Amino acid sequence: MKIWLSFTKGILKENPVLVLMIGLCPALAVSSTVRDAFGMGIAATFVLVCSNIVISLLRRAVPHQMRIPIFIVIISTFVTIVDYVMAAYSPSIHHALGVFIPLIVVNCIILGRAEAFAYKNPVLHSTMDGLGMGIGFTLIIVLMGAIRELLGNGTILGSPVLGSGFEPALIMILPPGAFLTIGFMMAIKKKIWGEK
Amino acid sequence: MISNNMSIFLIFISAMMVNNILLIRFIGLCSFFGVSNRMETSIGMGMAVIFVMVIASIVSWLVYHHILVPFHLEFLRTATFILTIASLVQLEEMVIRKNSPNLYRAMGIYLPLITTNCAILAVAFLNIDYNLSFFKSIIYSLGVSLGYTLAIVMFAGIRERIELSPVPKSFKGYPIAFITASLMSLAFLGFKGLFGL
């Protein structure tokens, strides 16, 4: 039961972007299309799960004062792997995400989960926590990508959905649209679930 | 896009206004929303970022071009840069704690968070990606960090006023802050096309 809880809390109750307010930069920057948002979500989830597993395994061996630099080295190893794998297998997404791939290393979600969860919990729980947080993050940025792509371009995943009569609001795929989308998403979340 | 062929002035303006790191590039947003409640703390944060960013890009540029490239270790740049920057931030933390305890108390947890402030690391990467020369990478990082300070101080000013205004209940706090940022970003979008950038 508790393992299941470790998994589900990241998706809604402690959603990293909407509730904990961390990991905002990639969420806003790469969510102009569904495809880029999905690529970012997968990359971050991979790093999050792998680093949670390794940190959880090493948690007894890591001295308390040295933990942050050690976490960062572990995380940056996985980020380098993702960086090179993406460049080899999907160069177009790699190009679209640009500097945001190496920046996964300072994504607050990953260091935050390492410090707050993986460092204190057994491997299985940490894996599920990483998976849940990663999925929660991916869901939000894909949703943002869908909203922005639909309103700003009239398409989803590149195929037109809204018909020819729709006049796309270009602002939604430009930077201001990202702030606007997440502002409204948070307001709606607050309206439905109330003050946290 | 910035390249090494551009003049110093254009690099500076582009980094500060046209491609403002917070409002157009979306880098460093955690601190943008985290410390912008009050004017003084956001000025302090801005100064801290200027100081760290310029020194970090000098050090990371030297490390990349004089250590990593000669030994063909470019793939280690993510790990190297983050460790270099982490130790620099420690240094700055000690200096601020010693010289200005008030500022240190006001910024609280955000000073260690500069380590994971993506803006600092991003500029180190972008200096390399844009192929900037040593001198131009200093100008670039100066422009970026001044742009950061400009945006965060303006934003803090607006947020102080919003606190006194009647905002719909579900928009109170972060939602209205994001919508404010959206309008500021729209204003900064107006710089696009300046000097043909």
Residue B8 lies in a domain: no
Residue B10 lies in a domain: no
Q: Dump pLDDT digits (tens) for A21-58.
A: 777 888 888 888 888 899 999 999 999 999 999 999 99
Tell me what pLDDT residue A57 has: 92
A77 contacts on B by Cβ (under 8 Å):
79
Tell me what pLDDT residue A30 has: 85
Quick one: which of B126, B150, B127, B161 has its CA closest to B50? Answer: B150
Query: Is B28 in contact with A25 (Cβ distance < 8 A)?
Result: yes
Structure tokens at B116: 């994971």
Residue B112 lies in a domain: yes
Please return the burial class of B76, using the count of CB atoms within 10 Å of its CB with bins 0-12, 13-18 and 19+: middle
Quick one: which of A119, A148, A116 has its CA closest to A133? Answer: A116
What SS3 state is found at A160? strand
What mean pLDDT, rounded, does chain B reach?
85
Q: Dump pLDDT digits (tens) for B112-170.
A: 667 667 888 889 999 998 889 999 999 999 999 999 999 999 999 999 999 888 988 88
Domain assignment of residue B146, given as a range? 26-187
Tell me what pLDDT residue B102 has: 77
Instruction: Please tell me which residue of chain B has the smallest CA distance to A177.
Output: B182
Q: What is the 3-state secondary structure (H, E, C) of chain A?
A: CHHHHHHHCCCCCCCCCCCCCCCHHHHHHCCCCHHHHHHHHHHHHHHHHHHHHHHHHCCCCCCHHHHHHHHHHHHHHHHHHHHHHHHHHCHHHHHHHHHHCHHHHHCHHHHHHHHHHHCCCCHHHHHHHHHHHHHHHHHHHHHHHHHHHHHHHCEECCEECCCCCCCCCHHHHCHHHHHHHHHHHHHHHHHHHCCC
Query: Is A21 in contact with B30 (Cβ distance < 8 A)?
Result: yes
Residue B85 lies in a domain: yes
Please name the residues between 43 and 82 in chain A that touch chain B, using a CB distance below 8 Å.
68-69, 72-73, 76-77, 79-80
A180 contacts on B by Cβ (under 8 Å):
178-179, 182
Q: Total domain count for chain B? A: 1
Tell me what pLDDT residue B116 has: 61
Is the complex ipTM more than 0.85? no
Please tell me the total number of residues recorded for chain A in this structure. Answer: 196
Structure tokens at A58: 């090493």
B179 contacts on A by Cβ (under 8 Å):
179-180, 183-184
Residue A169 forms contact with B (CB below 8 Å) = no
Residue B19 lies in a domain: no
Query: Is B121 in contact with A102 (Cβ distance < 8 A)?
Result: yes
Quick one: which of A112, A130, A113, A107 has its CA closest to A46? Answer: A130
Residue ranges in chain A whose pLDDT is less than 50:
none
Residue ranges in chain B whose pLDDT is less than 50:
108
Q: Which H/E stretch holds residue A155?
A: strand A155-156
Residue B121 lies in a domain: yes
A105 contacts on B by Cβ (under 8 Å):
78, 82, 121
Instruction: Please tell me which residue of chain B has the smallest CA distance to A192.
Output: B170
